[in-house]
């Protein structure tokens, strides 16, 4: 009867990756980077380091601070190069075997990989490789990339990567480590973020710039979509292995995934997320509301934006308990809305007798929001108006977001009015896809992947038997 409290109703980010080059204590820095990226993956954490001749590995299920619980563990990861990984499972079961970074050996020696993203032709590729006699030890698409790499015949690692990547399609931001090289790359569409920083003689790459901030590294630029960056003793060499006229940045990074203090896709998340709040307030106001409240902490920024634009006061009406662990023991006599109540407690003094706008960043199943609405009503609120700073989610993601299946997506099967009725709100309004695209940077419709909202998949899904990784 243990409740997985992290399974609160959200699209889950997929993974965080980090790479550190040219610094003593590289593994400690990678550990700190993973810690800053903890929100991108809370199921497992791992680091592989290199001292120039050997690779060292430690990876486990658990939060970063639990996986690396002592100085001794980091001491067993020596060397001035290290890559790390936080994970939610996407492709591949969430089991110890799929914990990353993955460390293998091919004819050129040991190689490790950290992968953020998801391939869309995993199944036919795996079938092909199995026919060729390949042996698989995990069900992760990262191993598949390494299998292709092992079979390619180029002279250098980057040559072989170019050859291997010709076979794969989908979303991938990768950091690879051999004894003497770190290689960083991003798929041609640039689905997932990946940025480059410098510090004190060293180089760092990370999914989000908040990791650079903690390490006191200076943000340099994003890794380009279709770029391979080879980092070794001779310096940094950039290779363009592919190009796409269409960028397809995951727009959900701005909506929910990334931390507000990060910079992704070249822009400040806080600034953009605030703009979503502004647009929402303009296009979907709640004229009679007394207060604007957020569901802490993920919709704080959008709610602040909404409040500023609407001129109505922002209020903290839900106190979040941050001691929530990964599992929680529920009473055997079930308590109504236990999972939400253990996480949030309403501030009666703020809510009683008021009309409030609850700003939420997205709705997936709607079950948590329904409980939250009930919670604030019980605290005596008069009216609850829900405003969502993104459009209804109607389609699954095949590029690395950790989604429920389509059958569980509330908006795939129900109208906005039906959802409103389900969550028992007095009103419910969403940003439209157009409003969303207008609010994010570069206002170029082709620069973003909005498949989950619109169904327009920028890279076709051709897993032979359908995208079997998702059970719909």
Catalytic residue numbers read: 15
Among 221, 233, 323, 460, binds its own copies (CB under 8 A): 323
Q: Is 230 near its own copies (CB under 8 A)?
A: no
Sign of CA dihedral 380, 381, 384, 389: negative
| Number of residues engaging its own copies in binding (CB under 8 A) | 83
Q: Is 179 near its own copies (CB under 8 A)?
A: no
Query: Considering beta carbons, is residue 198 or 308 the nearer one to its own copies?
Result: 308
CB of 430 to its own copies, least distance (A): 23
Among 3, 198, 246, 271, binds its own copies (CB under 8 A): 271
CB of 11 to its own copies, least distance (A): 19
Going by C-alpha positions, the residue among 8, 4, 7 that lies closest to residue 330 is 4
Q: Of 213-221, 232-240, 354-362, 461-469, which segment contacts its own copies by CB under 8 A?
A: 213-221
Q: Do 102 and 143 meet the contact criterion of CB atoms below 8 Å apart?
A: yes
CB of 107 to its own copies, least distance (A): 3
Among 261, 383, 426, 464, binds its own copies (CB under 8 A): 261
Among 13, 19, 25, 115, binds its own copies (CB under 8 A): 25
Query: Considering beta carbons, is residue 6 or 454 the nearer one to its own copies?
Result: 6
Query: Considering beta carbons, is residue 67 or 228 the nearer one to its own copies?
Result: 67
Q: Do 404 and 365 meet the contact criterion of CB atoms below 8 Å apart?
A: yes
**Chain residues 80-109 in contact with its own copies, contact rule CB under 8 A:** 103-107
Q: Is 161 near its own copies (CB under 8 A)?
A: no
**Chain residues 277-306 in contact with its own copies, contact rule CB under 8 A:** 297, 300-301, 304
Among 36, 162, 167, 423, binds its own copies (CB under 8 A): 36
Query: Considering beta carbons, is residue 83 or 292 the nearer one to its own copies?
Result: 292
C-alpha distance across the termini of the chain, in Å: 27
Please confirm whether the linkage preceding 454 is cis (ω < 30° from 0). no
Cβ contacts of residue 141 below 8 Å, gap of 6+?
91, 92, 115, 118, 119, 122, 168, 170
Structure tokens at 222: 């994003």
What binding mask, one character per residue, do residues 114-153 give for its own copies by CB under 8 A, x or -? -------------x--xxxxxxxx-x---x--xx--xxx-
Query: Considering beta carbons, is residue 246 or 341 the nearer one to its own copies?
Result: 341
Taking the C-alpha atoms of residue 128 and residue 80, their distance in angstroms, rounded to an integer, is 38
Q: Of 6-14, 322-330, 422-430, 456-464, which segment contacts its own copies by CB under 8 A?
A: 322-330
Strand, coil or helix: 315: strand
Strand, coil or helix: 265: coil
Among 235, 245, 287, 332, binds its own copies (CB under 8 A): 332
Q: Is 228 near its own copies (CB under 8 A)?
A: no
CB of 187 to its own copies, least distance (A): 22
Q: Is 4 near its own copies (CB under 8 A)?
A: no
Q: Do 123 and 464 meet the contact criterion of CB atoms below 8 Å apart?
A: yes
Among 224, 227, 270, 360, binds its own copies (CB under 8 A): 270
Q: Is 242 near its own copies (CB under 8 A)?
A: no
Q: Of 281-289, 316-324, 387-395, 428-436, which segment contacts its own copies by CB under 8 A?
A: 316-324
Q: Is 454 left (phi over 0), alpha (psi -120 to 50) or beta?
A: alpha
DSSP for 184-238 reads EEE-TT--S--EEEEETTEEEEESSHHHHHHTTPEEEEEPPTTEEEEEETTEEEE
Residues 59-68: contacts with CB under 8 Å, at least 24 apart:
59/85, 59/99, 59/100, 59/101, 60/96, 60/99, 61/96, 61/99, 63/38, 63/326, 64/31, 64/34, 64/35, 64/38, 65/35, 68/31
Taking the C-alpha atoms of residue 223 and residue 205, their distance in angstroms, rounded to an integer, is 9
Sign of CA dihedral 239, 117, 443, 254: negative
Q: Is 156 near its own copies (CB under 8 A)?
A: no
Q: Of 236-244, 245-253, 267-275, 390-398, which segment contacts its own copies by CB under 8 A?
A: 267-275
Going by C-alpha positions, the residue among 328, 225, 280 that lies closest to residue 4 is 328
Q: Is 350 near its own copies (CB under 8 A)?
A: yes
- Would you tell me how many other CB atoms lie within 10 Å of the CB of residue 248? 24
Query: Considering beta carbons, is residue 190 or 260 the nearer one to its own copies?
Result: 260
Q: Do 294 and 282 meet the contact criterion of CB atoms below 8 Å apart?
A: no
- Would you tell me how many other CB atoms lie within 10 Å of the CB of residue 354? 19
Q: Of 115-123, 170-178, 256-264, 280-288, which segment contacts its own copies by CB under 8 A?
A: 256-264
CB of 38 to its own copies, least distance (A): 4
What binding mask, one character per residue, do residues 46-85 give for its own copies by CB under 8 A, x or -? -----------------xxxx-x-xx--x-----------
**Chain residues 386-445 in contact with its own copies, contact rule CB under 8 A:** none
């Amino acid at each position: 009867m243990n409740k997985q409290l992290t399974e609160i109703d959200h699209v889950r980010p997929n993974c965080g990756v980090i790479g550190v080059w040219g610094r003593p204590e590289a593994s400690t820095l990678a550990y700190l980077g993973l810690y800053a990226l903890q929100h991108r993956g809370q199921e497992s954490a791992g680091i592989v380091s290199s001292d120039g001749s050997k690779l060292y590995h430690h990876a486990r299920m658990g939060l970063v601070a639990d996986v690396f619980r002592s100085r001794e563990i980091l001491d067993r990861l020596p060397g001035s190069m290290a890559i790390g990984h936080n994970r939610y499972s996407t492709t591949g079961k969430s089991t110890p075997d799929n914990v990353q970074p993955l460390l293998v050996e091919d004819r050129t020696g040991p190689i490790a990989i950290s992968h953020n993203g998801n391939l869309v032709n995993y199944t036919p590729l795996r079938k092909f490789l199995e026919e060729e006699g390949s042996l698989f030890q995990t069900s992760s698409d990262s191993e598949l990339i390494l299998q292709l790499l092992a079979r390619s015949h180029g002279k250098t690692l980057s040559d072989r990567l170019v050859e291997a990547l010709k076979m794969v399609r989908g979303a991938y931001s990768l950091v690879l480590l051999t004894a003497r090289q770190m290689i960083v790359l991003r798929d041609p569409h640039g689905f997932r973020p990946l940025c480059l920083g410098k510090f004190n003689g060293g180089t760092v790459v990370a999914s989000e710039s908040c990791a650079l901030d903690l390490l006191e590294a200076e943000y340099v630029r994003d890794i380009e979509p279709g770029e391979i960056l080879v980092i070794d003793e001779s310096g940094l060499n950039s290779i363009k292995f592919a190009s796409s006229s269409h960028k397809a940045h995951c727009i959900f990074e701005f909506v929910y995934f990334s931390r507000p203090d990060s910079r992704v896709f070249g822009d400040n998340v806080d600034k953009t997320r605030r703009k979503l709040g502004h647009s929402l307030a303009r296009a979907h106001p709640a004229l009679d509301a007394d207060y604007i409240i957020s569901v802490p902490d993920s919709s704080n920024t959008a709610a602040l934006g909404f409040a500023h634009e609407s001129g109505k006061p922002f209020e903290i009406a839900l106190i979040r308990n941050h001691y929530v662990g990964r599992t929680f023991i529920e009473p055997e006599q079930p308590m109504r809305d236990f999972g939400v109540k253990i996480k949030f407690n309403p501030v009666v003094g703020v809510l009683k007798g008021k009309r409030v706008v609850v700003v939420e960043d997205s709705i997936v199943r709607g079950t948590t929001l329904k409980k939250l609405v009930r919670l604030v009503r019980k605290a005596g609120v008069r009216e609850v108006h829900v405003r969502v700073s993104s459009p209804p989610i109607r389609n699954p993601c095949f590029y690395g977001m950790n989604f429920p299946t389509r059958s569980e997506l509330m908006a795939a099967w129900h109208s906005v009015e039906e959802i409103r009725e389900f969550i028992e709100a007095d009103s419910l309004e969403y940003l439209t896809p157009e409003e969303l695209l207008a609010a994010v940077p570069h206002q170029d419709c082709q620069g973003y992947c909005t498949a989950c909202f619109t169904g327009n998949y920028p890279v076709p899904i051709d897993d032979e038997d359908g995208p079997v990784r998702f059970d719909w």
